[in-house]
Every structure is written in structure tokens, then in C-alpha cells.
Structure 1
């Protein structure tokens, strides 16, 4: 309309000409601002504003199956002499401070095991945007209830006294563990309902029922486990969890009780997705958990409630 009126009218007076020449400039500025606003609305920063806990780029199957995620990782050792309530360990954390704070996870080894048996999970999870504490227990024969208390003591050290406490959001914490450490993971979640995620790995516990849990829980078992057979451990653990709870059961195919002690892509893929989904409230990872993953060369069975509610 402006262009048509300019062409149809007689030569404008100088002042009017200046006003009309400004109109295309104003229109261009409005168009620029509109596009800039649209780009801002579509940018990762705007999405992060909707969920302030979201960290890292949008995930892909290859990114969560990779041995390292997008974050460079540093680590620091924690002496058993400098802590109380557990046996020390190693903290792995994203090196950057530009993304704000991160959620944190403490991981316990199994019966007779040390942190070296679960060490592979440290840098693998930390590189995806978590502070990870792989711990030693007070003795290698500690039972699940003790390991549960030690996991919580490790989280308290991590968030209150560790050298990286300023990098952690203390409201976004999770626990993991292998074997008796897996049983301890359930104990920790029972004792501290504020935990955001729990992942027992081929867990062992004399207590088979966990109706008290309020923490989203991914139970990982192994079809060939003869030490904590899924029929008497992981399956009843999962089945006893409240039906209203966000929960899942992943049974590894062609796997043993000790599969979680070495680097495993399937364990990592679904652990990362679970921790991201429930510690970071990052729904970008829902796609890997729902719909329910189908049996494959590495998955014997997967059960869960979809879509997730929290």
C-alpha cells in the first residue's frame, strides 16, 4: 500500500518526502525484529528458559550411545581419610562453568568390589552433563542397607563439602549401584524420597518389595545372572514399585551379573536417558524411553509406564 501511494501521488514536499523515505526503513526494522524474535523463540536458549535444568545439545541415538558426550570432563580424587560415612572415591565433572550447575549422581560398587569396577560410568555420564561420584565403600563386604547410607553420605559430601559443590544443584540428585550397590540404591531411594532418579544395576537385596519408593527407578537386570537372578531380584524389585511411579525394567540380553563392570552401550544409553529425563526434567530424552524399547540383540525385555508423568 505504501509503495502504491508513493507512485500515485504527485512529487511530495521536502518534509513529506523525508517522512515517506523513513517508512521503508521502519518497515524493514519491524521485519528484522520480528525475524529476530522468531529466531530467539526457536533457539536452544529459549527452550532452556522453559526448562532451566536442560543441559547440552539436543540428543540423538548416536550421541547417547557414544563413549563420550559433548562435555569435556575433569576428575578429582577424594581420600577416605577426608570423609565420613563412606570410603572416598573419584568425582568426575564437566569442566565448563558456563552452563551453570549440574545434577549429580553417586554410584556404589558391588560385593567385594571397589570403585574401579564402576569407574567407566564416571566420565561417560559426566560427559553428558552430570557430576558423578564413583565411591568406595567402608569395607568391600558392606551389605545393601549400609551401601544405601553410604550413597547418601557421598551425596551429602558432594553437595556440601566437596571442591566441586558450587557446580552442583543439590535439588537434582540420583543414585546408582551394582549388585549389593544396586540393592543399596533402592535403600537410598527409600530413605530419601527427594532423590530424582535411581538405577540399580543387576541389584541384589534380601528385601524384594519396594512399594515405599517415590523416586523414578530404572531397574536393570541381566538374563544370564546367576548371582542375583532376575526372577528373584530385579523382576520382583520392579513389580513391587508403585504403579503410579515412573519406573522401567530393562533386562539385558546375553549378559551376566558382572556386565555392568565393563563399558556397556545399552546400560549407558538408557541410564543417560533416565538420568536426563528425571534429574534434569529433560523431555528431549523421552524419545529413547517411550514408546517402550523393543527386544534386540542387547535387550531381552523392557517394561515400563509410558508416557512418563513427572
Structure 2
């Protein structure tokens, strides 16, 4: 062994060529097995945050630190102001944005827990105040779109937003308004109506990926006459899902609700960020004692 350590043996040309050929093959196999990070990033430039887990989605906050700012009704047009929540770091790039409307007679404060929770997973969120607390769904839909326009055109956080990746959500008449907004602006990437209420039961023209979450015991917007027919009427080509919460009333979004947060974030990540890592939470979907029913079109990557 000692002589081998001090003696240099030059391989014959044929042996050297063979070794080089083997090394080239191994390098090629390695490249196929583990693509460079740059190539992986190029496959999905909108992917944000670490690989998702159930624990991450069910935690009170996601991986991004957030801040917030109040928007005065005097500084905007088309809606009544509200609160913006946003990730404090842009080291991973810009973010998709979501506008959320409260329900009939309600203020944004009734849903405010959703703002920082969604934002902490890598979104800019605006929880709106409506022009009037008595506004109907069609008006709330227009106000959601006005809020998105404000976010990307005039807000102080506009540089953090990718204007091509926008979504809407809302509770009750705000949920009905999110359906109206999705019909009016098919370029939206996602809609999440929560216990939605709307006199229109047919949404066959809707093409925006839509997650509807309803409460089994909702007596204000019963799922049998609101959430379920809404879901059924949306074409499968739009991508859709329906989650019904076991025993939940109409007001389940007004307190912290983990199944609602988990599915909402997973839906937004999958369709706003085009992040297929979250598909595992949509197919086959949630189960357990909190879930009464789950249906979906099971998107494919």
C-alpha cells in the first residue's frame, strides 16, 4: 500500500478512454435523476415556500412572515376600503393576490382571521369593507374586482404582486359575489365561496377553478339550495370542488376553522401558484369527523 501511495501509474490510452466514457455515462444518469435547481425552478416560476405538509396547512400561520395596512374608504373607488395583508419578504419573487368579501350586514372583522393566515402562505390578501353592508352579491362581485384592481394598480404593495395571478373569495353574499366576479372576469385563477348565497343557481358559464365550502346545518343559505346546486352547475372543465363541513352553521367562517383554512390555502396554491405539490390535498381530499362530504374533479398536473 505504501508504494502505491508514492508511485504514479499512468493508465494506457485505451483504459483512459474507457474510464472517460463510463464517467460521461454516470454524469448523464445523474443529471437525469437530479435535475439542476435552475431547471426545477423554471418548471414552475410561481412556486413559493417549502414542500407542504398537513401540519403546515393546519398551523395558525404559514412559512411567510406578514404585515398589514389599513386602506381608507376615502382613498379608493368601487369598494369601501379594508385591510391588506402581505408577506414581508420578496426574496422568492412576487405573489398572487386574493380579495375577500364579508357577508350581508357584516364587516371585514367578521372574517379577519383569514387575512394573515392566507397571506402567510405567500399571497397578498385584501379583506374588503363593502360600500354598504346591505349590498347584494352582484355588487359585492364588482367590489371584489375593484379591490383587485386597486391592489395591482395603486396600492403601496403593488410591486409585490403578480397581476396575472389573482383570485376572489367571500362569505355568504360575499361568497355569492365571488361567483359573480368569476363570471365577470374569467382570467381569475381561483374562486373560493364560503357558505355562498345567491338567487342565481346556475353557473354553467363559469370557467374559473372554484372551491365551494358549505355547512351541513346552514339555515341561512342551505347547501341543498345554494352550495350544492352552485357546484353541480359549474362545468367540470373549470375544475371545481365541494367541501361540506359536518354540523357547521352558516357562520362557520366567522371563527377560526381549520378545515376551511386548509382547503382554501391548498386550492389557492394549486391554481394561483400552479403548485402541483398541493394536489395531494385536493385528491382524494380531506376526510375525518369534521367533513360531511367532499366532491371534486381531481385536477391533473
Above 0.5 in TM-score? yes
What is the aligned partner in structure 1 of residue 201 from structure 2? 208
SS at match of 1:105: strand
Q: 1:221 aligns with which of 214, 239, 262?
A: 214
Structure 2: distance between partners of 1:97 and 1:292 = 31
Give CA deviations for 1:110-139 in whole Å, capped at 9, x if unaligned. 000011011101100000000000000001
Q: Which of 250, 253, 278 is the matching residue for 1:260?
A: 253
TM value normalised by structure 2: 0.89
User: Does 2:287 correspond to 1:300?
Assistant: no
Q: CA RMSD in A?
A: 2.6
The residue number in structure 1 matching 2:276 is 283
> Structure 2: how far apart are the matches of 1:149 and 1:167?
23
Residue 3 of structure 1 corresponds to none
The alignment status of 1:49 with 2:42, answered yes or no, reads yes
Runs of 4+ in 1 over 4 A off after TM superposition: 37-46
Q: Secondary structure at the match of 1:124?
A: helix
Distance in 2 (CA, whole Å) between partners of 1:45 and 1:223 is: 46
Give, in whole Å, the separation in 1 of the partners of 2:276 and 2:37.
14
TM-score by length of 1: 0.87
2:228 & 2:33 partners in 1: Cα distance? 46
Cα-to-partner distance string for 1:246-302 (whole Å, 9 max, x where unaligned): 1000001121100001111000000000000000000000000002433x2111000
Question: How far apart are residue 99 of structure 1 and its match?
Answer: 1.1
**What is residue 163 of structure 1 aligned with on the other side?**
156
**Pick aligned residue for 2:184 from 188, 191, 194:** 191
Show the 5 A alignment for 1:96-107. Answer: 96-107=89-100
- Equivalence for 1:4: none
Structure 1 residue corresponding to 2:83, chosen from 87, 90, 107? 90
Q: Which residues of structure 1 form unaligned runs of 5+? A: 1-6
Tell me the secondary structure at the aligned position of residue 96 of structure 2: strand
Task: Give 1:182 deviation, angstroms.
Answer: 0.2
Equivalenced residue count is 289
The 5 A counterparts of 1:31-42 are 41=34
**Which structure's CA Rg is the greater one?**
1
Q: Using the alignment, how far apart are the partners of 2:165 and 2:277 within structure 1?
A: 17
Call closer, same or farther: CA 1:70–1:46 in 2, change over 3 Å: farther
Match of 2:117 among 121, 124, 136: 124
Cα distance in 2 between the residues matched to 1:222 and 1:125: 21
Shift of 1:243: 2.5
**Partners in 1 of 2:285 and 2:8 — Cα distance?**
71
Please list the CA deviations of residues 4-57 of structure 1 after superposition, one character each: whole Å capped at 9, or x if unmatched: xxx8xx988xxx89xx9xx9xx98xx89x959x859945765432210000000
